[in-house]
């Protein structure tokens, strides 16, 4: 049953990361291997504190200064 859950779990983790990590970094995470290898301690990939906007899908997304919400 696990193979059927993988795409949903990958989407869930990416949606959570989108709240705290820069958009281009989240978009570069395509496979489960990419997500597993992602270093959450790399603060250069984090959103600056207090910089989050309401996304198109009604959830919070990180927005880098100067970048408009898609």
Residue 70 belongs to some domain of the structure: no
Q: Tens of pLDDT along 29-48?
A: 999 999 999 998 998 998 87
Higher pLDDT, 52 or 24: 24
Residue 51 belongs to some domain of the structure: yes
> What are the structure tokens assigned to 38, written together?
């992602």
Residue 67 belongs to some domain of the structure: no
Q: Please write down the HEC assignment for all residues of 36-49.
A: HHCCCCCHHHECCC
What's the pTM?
A: 0.66
Residue 52 belongs to some domain of the structure: yes
Residue 56 belongs to some domain of the structure: yes
Residue 45 domain boundaries: 2-62
- Provide the CA 15 distance to its chain's centre, in angstroms: 5
Residue 29 belongs to some domain of the structure: yes
Decide if pLDDT at 5 tops 60: yes
Q: Would you place residue 60 in the very low, low, confident or very high pLDDT band (cuts 50, 70, 90)?
A: low
Domain count for the chain: 1
């Amino acid at each position: 049953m696990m193979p059927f859950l993988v795409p949903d779990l990958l989407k869930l983790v990416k949606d959570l990361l989108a709240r705290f990590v820069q958009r281009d970094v989240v978009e570069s995470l395509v496979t489960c291997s990419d997500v597993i290898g992602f270093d959450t301690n790399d603060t250069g990939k984090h959103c600056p504190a207090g910089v989050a906007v309401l996304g198109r899908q009604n959830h919070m997304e990180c927005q880098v200064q100067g970048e408009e919400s898609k």
